[in-house]
Amino acid sequence: MLYKPVVYVTRSLQEPGPTLLSKYCHINMNDSVIPISKRQMVEKAKEVDAIVCMLGDKIDSEVIYSAGNRLKLISCYSAGYDHVDLEAATNKEIVVTNTPDILSETTADLTFALIFAVSRNVVKGDYYVKNAKWKFGWTPDLFLGTDVYGKVLGIIGLGNIGTKVARRAKGFEMDVIYHNRTRRYELESKFGLRYVDFHELLRRSDFISIHVDLNKDTYHMISFDELKKMKNTAFLINTARGKVVKEKDLVRALNKGLIAGAGLDVYEEEPVSRESPLLKTSNAVLLPHLGSATQETRSRMAEMAAMNVINFFRQIGPLHRVN
């Protein structure tokens, strides 16, 4: 690769990403964690051969069509790529890549962290102790939660992350049912899972965990009609994509006691607005999109995002292409 491509990295990237890129590319990196403006993104796209972007960076048709013919690659530092206008990129013959199959174990761990947080009052208990509200020692009715072991876990989407959640659930002796676009017979046999239709999953599950991509079929997949079908003792967990759940309907269901609670790591709009009614719910645990947030996983993601750039311009593989 005689020509060293110019790469713009939209936000500070973990090692070994920058070191790898610097061997083969000229790097221009935004060292802040704060995203740049739309106007800045449009200008940057005109000046570079490749962009390494984060999940919160909107690479829409305006950015892509304003880039001229120089921009050849958009490397997503994420498994998801719904923040990039794939149609526009494809029309401009711009390759889009992602970092798949790296964060599934880590996100599955976080899914269970949320399951336990909502079912065993972990966050409320922590606040209670740290704010000196614990006055009388052990009492028989303090923060009574619900068991996880032996309960029915309904998994919506049995891809890489959903499968790893199912595997963990068996360790807690949970009865795991799932709904997926296609049946996964080999996984049913391997992990003792049962396939059910979507509405049966809603009715039977004590915990529902969402693990689907965001597309036209999954947008607002969970709205008030679906929430009404759940048990009033059930919990909804979402570590997938925020727009799979219609938030205003979820807030309504939580406030009416139609479900027992929710654990969310993703939202329709991120960051969550200070005015969001979600912040006033007492039966939801809310995290700031931490699904892949471990040192090990973020480092592997940075390495793959960098190697996607390097391999593209060196015309070698692997290249984790999504268009």
Q: Which residues are catalytic?
A: 241, 270, 289
Buried b (16+ CB within 10 A) or exposed e, 186-208: ebbeebebebbeeeebbebbbbb
Q: Which helix (H) or strand (E) holds 74?
A: strand 73-76
Nearest 5°: the CA angle 199, 232, 115 is 85
Contacts of 38 (CB under 8 A, 6+ apart): 58, 62, 63
Contact between 57 and 84 (Cβ < 8 Å): no
Cα distance between residue 287 and residue 76, in whole Å:
22
Query: What phi, psi does 242 have (nearest 5°)?
Result: -60, -40
Cα distance between residue 234 and residue 231, in whole Å:
5
Cα distance between residue 180 and residue 271, in whole Å:
29
